[in-house]
Amino acid sequence: MSVICVVPVRMTEAWLLFDEAAIRRAAENPRGKQPLNLPNLSKCEELPDPKQYLCQLLRQASGLTGRRLKKFRAREREKIQRIAELIDDFSELRSLSAFQILEADIKQMLKRQSW
């Protein structure tokens, strides 16, 4: 069994902060009009707490308040995982050095395994 360590500069959640449509769909409000302040991709790994930032974006995107928002918050981990599933194209992340290293490591492992 081969293993590739994924160690982003901050947290892997930083790599999910670029796809507004995926965030809105994960928040179960794909047509929401609440403004989301997504960080510039080149700055996302510099955020002090990207996971918290992503959770705030999910809450905003949901458009929920009160009890519904409280129930939503209890499922935020599930929502974060859902964002990753909903992103069709991660190629924008190739501008990030940590992602470039990950991609090179994966290619190297695949080559070693003759896959």
CB-CB contact of 22 with 36 (8 Å): no
Domain contains 26? yes
Domain contains 22? yes
Q: State yes or no: pLDDT of 1 exceeds 90.
A: no
Q: Given pLDDT bands bounded at 50, 70 and 90, which one contains residue 92? A: very high
Domain contains 5? no
Domain contains 2? no
Enter the pTM of the model: 0.84
Number of domains the chain is built from: 1
Number of other residues whose CB lies within 10 A of the CB of residue 8? 19
Structural domain harbouring 54: 12-112
pLDDT of residue 4: 66
Q: How far apart are CA 107 and CA 11, in angstroms?
A: 22
